[in-house]
Amino acid sequence: MDFVLGIDGGGTKTAAVILSLEGNVIGYGEAGASTYGVVPPMITRNHIEAAVRQACLQAGISVPTFKAAFLGLGNVVSEADRLAIREIAQDLGLAEPEKMDVDHDIRVALAGGLSGRPGIVLILGTGASCYGLNEMGQTWRSGGWGPLIDDGGSGYWLGIQAMHAAVADFDGRGKATQLASSVKSELKLTSMDELMNRLYAQNMSRTEISRLAKLVFAAALNGDEVAHAILQQGCDLLADCVSAVARKLAMDDHPSEVALVGGLTRAGSIYLGPLHRAILARLPECQVHLAEMSPVLGAGLLALKILTSSLPDSVIKKIHETSKDFLTSIEEPTVIH
């Protein structure tokens, strides 16, 4: 039997999925991070290989040369980036060169989020980015330029804003906020004066900072005005990204779909509600919902499209049906109000 391979590589994990040509999910595997430019190339290679081997083990097959393979990795945006990942995939013998494609992880998130349909995906995680595909096959990306100059509305951005609000309250420069006490407690500080050492001398990681986002959600749920203002600003920044993609792709004057994916979607209505309203204020005719499939399944779907550009609805349906045995975290799409 012939199979295709999908890879979704990010800053937390590398996921691999094996599909039959009919859309049956037969194997899934995970390994460590593989974000390009952040993880060393050899580690990226090793994690891709480990995820594929685990997927093959679950599928009960030896590691073959797949009929097609699609790899979507974080930070792959230039042609040089794609070439570097393509060389790794070719070295691993994942597929014949002409049956292999490489792109950024936002593309596989869109393919999974809308089951291959044109539209827009908004990634809400440690970072934030937006990507769209229109009916003519044109694409555009907005945001995702990294924490130093971008990522507004992301988990990392919310964590930074939580600390900013906390020290502004402590100094007397800003409004009183519950974030002053919750940041101090979360970071186990005996005094706010210890924050500088924790942040700079101990080099708090992006992941550690992004965990502070939950404090903003909790404070907002408890009626904190400062936290509410932070969330509204974050939602406006994210909605601006969606609007920019829609305008660039001429999708702003007719109905379109926006899929949301990433860890922050689990925050619930305290964040998704104002985000939905902010998007609708810019794009009144769009429909916003959670992703229909995970990004790794989007990579598998794109691998199938290498073999045939038009996939029958039966294949999409089969991916949905059979993936539930392997990826229990996938939820049914939900329209957000």
pLDDT in tens, 104-113: 999 999 999 9
**pLDDT: which is higher, 333 or 39:** 39
pLDDT confidence of residue 37: 84
Quote the crossing angle between the two packed helices 41-59 and 79-92, to the nearest 10°. 50
Residue 220 in any domain: the answer is yes
State the Cα–Cα distance between residues 266 and 277, nearest whole angstrom. Answer: 17
Are residues 232 and 258 located together in one domain of the fold? yes
Structural domain includes residue 331: no
Do 96 and 218 lie in one domain? The reply is no
pLDDT at 334: 41
Q: Which domain does 167 fall in, by range?
A: 116-291
306 plus 287 within the same structural domain: no
Q: Average pLDDT, stretch 54-72?
A: 94
The answer on 315 and 256 residing in a single domain is no
Handedness of CA 195, 200, 202, 207 (dihedral sign): positive
CA gap 162, 189 in Å, rounded: 15
- Residue 185 in domain: yes
What is the residue type of 267? A
| pLDDT the model gives residue 328 | 53
Instruction: Give the pLDDT band of residue 293 (cuts 50, 70, 90).
Output: very high
Q: Which two tokens stand for residue 298?
A: 């989007």
CATH of the domain at 101: 3.30.420.40
Residues 98 and 224 in one domain: no
Residue 249 domain-assigned?
A: yes
Q: Based on the number of CB atoms within 10 Å of its own CB, is 61 exposed (0-12), middle (13-18) or buried (19 or more)?
A: middle
Supply the DSSP string of 143-192, one letter for each residue: E---TTT--TTSHHHHHHHHHHHHHHHHHTSS---THHHHHHHHTT-SSG
Q: Which two tokens stand for residue 96?
A: 């014949």
Q: What are 161's strand-pairing partners?
A: none
- Residues in the chain, overall count: 337
Task: State pTM to two decimals.
Answer: 0.90
Tokens of 265: 């979607």
- What are the backbone dihedrals phi and psi of residue 48, each rounded to the nearest 5 degrees, phi first? -60, -45
Q: What pLDDT digit, counting tens, does each position of 130-142 carry?
A: 999 999 999 999 9
Q: Residue 44 has what pLDDT? A: 95
Q: Please tell me whether residues 133 and 249 are part of one structural domain.
A: yes
Listed range (99-113, 200-214, 279-293, 313-327) with the worst mean pLDDT: 313-327
* pLDDT at 63 exceeding the cut of 50: yes
Are 132 and 233 found together in one domain? yes
Q: Tell me: the pLDDT tens digits for 144-188? A: 888 899 999 999 999 999 999 999 999 999 999 999 999 999 999
One-letter identity of residue 239:
A
CA 225 to chain centre: 29
- Whether residues 132 and 164 fall in one domain: yes
How far from chain centre, in Å, is Cα 81?
19
Percent of the chain scoring above 70 in pLDDT: 96
- 90 and 173, same domain (yes or no): no
Residue 119: enclosing H or E segment and its boundaries? strand 119-124
Place of tokens 């940041």: 183
How many domains does one find in the chain?
2
C-alpha 151/C-alpha 126 separation (Å) is 8
**Could you identify the residue written with the tokens 């404070």?**
219
- What is the percent of the chain with per-residue pLDDT over 90, rounded to a whole number? 85
Has residue 334 been placed in a domain?
no
266 shares a domain with 305: no
Nearest by Cα to 141 from 94, 231, 77: 77
Q: What is the mean pLDDT of the chain?
A: 93
- For residue 330, tell me if it sits in a domain: no
Q: What is the pLDDT of residue 193?
A: 96
Integer-rounded Cα Rg, in Å, for the chain is 21
User: Is 254 within the bounds of a domain?
Assistant: yes
Position 331 pLDDT exceeds 50: no
pLDDT at residue 310 is higher than 90:
no
> Could you tell me if 149 and 272 lie in one domain?
yes
pLDDT greater than 50 at residue 129: yes
Q: For residue 231, is it within any domain?
A: yes
DSSP-assigned letters across all residues of 275-313: HHHHHHHH-TT-EEEE-SS-HHHHHHHHHHHHH-SS--H
Residue 87 is predicted with a pLDDT of 96
Q: Classify residue 297 by burial, with Cβ atoms within 10 Å: 0-12, 13-18, 19+.
A: buried
